[in-house]
Amino acid sequence: MTDHSTWRLITDEDVSASFGLAADECLAQWVGQGGSSSTLRLYTYRSHCALVGRFQNLENEIYRDYCEAHGIALNRRPTGGGAIIMGADQLGVALTIPGRGDDSYSHARERMAQFSQGIVNALQSLGVRANFRRKNDIEVNGRKIVGLGIYRAHSQTRPESAFSVSSALQRTGLLFHASLLVGLDIPLMLRVLKTPFEKISDKEIATVADRVTTVRREIGREIELSEARARIAEGYAAAFGVSLLPGDFTADERRAIAALERSKYLTAEWVSQTTAVPDALGSAKVKTPGGLLDIRATLAGNILKAVFIGGDFFAAEAAIADLESSLRWHSADPDAVAATLAHACAGRADDLTALPLDALVTAVQQAIRRARLAESAARADPYGCFVNPV
């Protein structure tokens, strides 16, 4: 269990939402306490399930009635971020490795860049020009293709053990989660995940398609999930300099996973839990010489979770998606927002000639102010984050 140059590779298919999530968390705990070896798990969920982020309010993010009517399982990830749909065309990636003794959050961030590199390697080997984008996305020309998340897990104390204080601090495992969009059924996604759209037409579908992409779309051909999985495995072996040894869960691990499913991931207490921090929504419309600018912002506390930039001005959609990405999970501080937009617009100057920066900053800041004011109203009439796969 101490050979850090070899990782176990587990590939499983068609798993339930509760098993998939319980297995990842359980492995993180076991790897942290040294009971399991570092593991790269590449798997798919049974089509389809909808997974919200650790602290999201499910009712804000998911059309529960639709999901229940269509057999779409609902659950909650241990990692953060937005709501996603998962199924046969979305590859789940879970890397579980031990935390270090001096395991501050910064080390996890350091590892995130390395973690993303495994996927970037794989996509580039397929000819996809993907890049890691802070904080936790992998994108292709501004379109999100992978969402990433980190969870630092504490290992459960084994009753028979007498860990010292110092060893207790080392019993952490890191779980890196990712969902790779090999393909995506956008109309289904819009029926499952709540968005600002009031209807689902070709226009709305095209708007989403301008903000997310898939492996199949980028390489222009069909690709089996097995091929994508093999590339991901190769990408990780190269990024971390490790060998991957195909394996499976042990009997002990399966028992622990089943127990965690029963105690957590199959309970309404976990799946439907709510947070004391409500989403707050705000919108602003500003007329500019280039056309109408329509901004919608979602806040959680002082975090700007998502911004939708719409209107009838002319701009390259990839550039708009780039601006939106730059503000995802960003501080809502007005000066910070202005600085980030200025930087993002400067990098896309040729694509945004009809979008005045000052008007954009004004509109986004106004939407944020209104979101703060509308916080109580948001509790009564919520919708979720806009297009935020993981």
Partner 1 sequence: MPIHGHYSFPPDLYYDRATHIWVRNDGEVVTIGLDALSLESLGDMAYISLQAVGIRVRRGEPIGTLEAAKMVGDLSAPVSGTIAARNEEVLRDPTHVNRDPYGIGWLLQLTPSDWARESTELVHGDGLTAWVEAEMERYRSQGWID
Residues within the interface to partner 1 (CB under 8 A): 53-55, 78-81, 101-106, 108-110, 135-136, 148-154, 157, 165, 168-169, 171-172, 275-277, 300-303, 305, 329, 331-332
> At closest approach, how far in Å is the CB of 167 from partner 1?
9
The helix (run of H) or strand (run of E) holding residue 32 is helix 17-32
- Nearest 5 degrees, angle CA 44-CA 384-CA 346? 95
> At closest approach, how far in Å is the CB of 139 from partner 1?
15
Distance CA 137, CA 133 (A): 5
Q: Is the peptide bond before 144 cis (omega within 30 degrees of 0)?
A: no
> At closest approach, how far in Å is the CB of 55 from partner 1?
4
Distance CA 300, CA 379 (A): 12
CA atoms within 13 A on the CB side of 123: 26
CB nearer to partner 1: give 304 or 315.
Answer: 304
Q: Please provide the distance, in angstroms rounded to a whole number, between the alpha carbons at the two ends of the chain.
A: 31
Nearest to 255 by CA among 35, 2, 8: 35
> At closest approach, how far in Å is the CB of 343 from partner 1?
16
CB nearer to partner 1: give 152 or 216.
Answer: 152
Q: Is 203 helix (H, G, I), strand (E, B) or coil?
A: helix
CB nearer to partner 1: give 197 or 270.
Answer: 270
Residue 389 burial (C-beta neighbours within 10 Å; 0-12, 13-18, 19+): buried
- Nearest 5 degrees, angle CA 325-CA 373-CA 279? 50
CB nearer to partner 1: give 86 or 112.
Answer: 112
Q: Is the peptide bond before 107 cis (omega within 30 degrees of 0)?
A: no
> At closest approach, how far in Å is the CB of 203 from partner 1?
29
Distance CA 88, CA 13 (A): 8
> At closest approach, how far in Å is the CB of 148 from partner 1?
8
- What does the longest C-alpha to C-alpha distance in the chain come to? 71
Nearest to 82 by CA among 386, 343, 316: 386
> At closest approach, how far in Å is the CB of 356 from partner 1?
28
Q: Is 133 helix (H, G, I), strand (E, B) or coil?
A: strand
Distance CA 361, CA 369 (A): 12
CB nearer to partner 1: give 111 or 370.
Answer: 111
> At closest approach, how far in Å is the CB of 17 from partner 1?
18
Distance CA 335, CA 357 (A): 14
CB nearer to partner 1: give 163 or 197.
Answer: 163
DSSP tag of 209 = H
> At closest approach, how far in Å is the CB of 224 from partner 1?
30
CB nearer to partner 1: give 253 or 279.
Answer: 279
CB nearer to partner 1: give 54 or 191.
Answer: 54
332 alpha-carbon distance from chain centroid: 20
CB nearer to partner 1: give 206 or 277.
Answer: 277
CB nearer to partner 1: give 71 or 301.
Answer: 301
DSSP tag of 64 = H
> At closest approach, how far in Å is the CB of 201 from partner 1?
31
Nearest to 46 by CA among 73, 69, 67: 73
